[in-house]
Amino acid sequence: MEVHNRYVSLKNHINEAPSESDLEIKTTTLSLEPKEGSGDVIVKNLYLSIDPYQVNRMKFYSSSQETSSFSQRLPLGQAIDANGVGEVVASDNAGYKKGDLVAALIGWEEYTNIHGGGGVFRKIESTEFPLSYHVGVLGLSGFTAYAGFQYVCKPKKGDKVFVSTASGSVGSMVGQYAKLAGCYTVGCAGSKKKVDLLKDKLGFDEAFNYRDEPDLKATVKRYFPDGIDIYFDNVGGEMLEAAVANMNVFGRIGVCGAISEYTDSTKRAAPDTLAIIYKRITIQGFLAADYLQSYSEFIKDTSNYLRQGEIHVLEDISLGLESLPSAFVGLFRGDNVGKKIVQVIHD
């Protein structure tokens, strides 16, 4: 049996912010009968993760290519791989049977053949939480926040923590983990609505709208009169410079993303090297994939926080594959509030 499989692909490589016309929806056919002995797992995709880092794979050239599979340049015309949640519709793999729900590396498409089953992160054993949570708060976004904050930023109770893109998929979780760790926590975001959300719903001690602030160094100083111990960086650029200027001695900066630089390489951060030396600052880039040994701990801890209402979930779900190009492009305008997800609608 074959199905029509619609997918989102890249029409041309880009060098700036993406526009919807850089992407197109195409259709192919997919056999729902896995080859015997292949170990393949064929899933019907339900929720797709929409992430800013994907834009780096769409560029003509990136210096960071080939350091890991998900920094490699995307080919044109093919389905774009992405994390998501799917339901197994056919399996040649002893580990998975029809009807299983899985969190996996799938694609911006309606169906994915997960070759050999290797792209499956885990089976979703319980439907206690909405399935979309396994893309965001219990997926790689949440895990990136968890691992980066815990193992790169190394928080201590009372630390002063600054988070950029604090209402985003990762930032919103970092801020909440920081509060749970007993840290003074300030976030920045790009609208009043987001700032209110951070303070009123997510429990940040303070938050500010960076678009209202012409002098970021002074702004950050205002919110951290006693300096920053931990900066969880999702934006790079000028905000990273402002953070370095306000770090305390032995401060830690976990560099998770650099969204302000992704689409404009002229915005590259040039923090004060002397401050890095004299304040003994550590700036560390990381990928959540390096901390997979603590994935089950993350799931356990975060599930408990969710059950006890100690973590609030920010999701921003668009419906249907055809909404995906606009959802993706909107990330770079700050349209999303929380984790951007596309729910695939199957007839």
Single out the residue of 21, 68, 296, 304 in contact with a second copy (rule: CB under 8 A). 68
Measured CA to CA in angstroms, residue 160 lies from 175, 207, 228, 232 at distances of 11, 13, 5, 11
Single out the residue of 181, 269, 327, 344 in contact with a second copy (rule: CB under 8 A). 269
Site pattern 211..240 for a second copy (x: CB under 8 A): -------------------------xx--x
DSSP letters along 101-144, please? EEEEEEESBSEEEEGGGTTEEEE----SS-GGGGTTTTSHHHHH
- Considering the rule CB under 8 A, would residue 15 count as an interface residue with a second copy? no
Binding residues for a second copy restricted to 287-306, rule: CB under 8 A: 287, 290
Measured CA to CA, the distance from residue 123 to residue 243 in angstroms comes to 39
Measured CA to CA, the distance from residue 1 to residue 254 in angstroms comes to 48
Binding residues for a second copy restricted to 271-290, rule: CB under 8 A: 271-287, 290
202 vs 220, which CB is nearer to a second copy? 220
192 vs 268, which CB is nearer to a second copy? 268
Segment lying near a second copy (by CB under 8 A), choices 9-17, 155-163, 262-270, 323-331: 262-270
Positive or negative, the CA dihedral 126, 131, 135, 137 is negative
Q: Which tokens in the block code for residue 310?
A: 């100690």
Measured CA to CA in angstroms, residue 57 lies from 18, 79, 92, 192 at distances of 11, 13, 31, 31
Give phi and psi for 55, each to the nearest 5: -65, -30
180 vs 245, which CB is nearer to a second copy? 245
Segment lying near a second copy (by CB under 8 A), choices 17-25, 64-72, 75-83, 315-323: 64-72
Segment lying near a second copy (by CB under 8 A), choices 129-137, 194-202, 204-212, 257-265: 257-265
Question: Residue 223: which H helix or E strand, with range?
Answer: helix 216-223
- Considering the rule CB under 8 A, would residue 154 count as an interface residue with a second copy? no
Classified as helix, coil or strand, 77 is coil
The residues that touch a second copy, with contacts defined as CB under 8 A, are: 56, 62-64, 67-68, 71, 236-237, 240, 245, 249, 255-258, 261-262, 268-287, 290
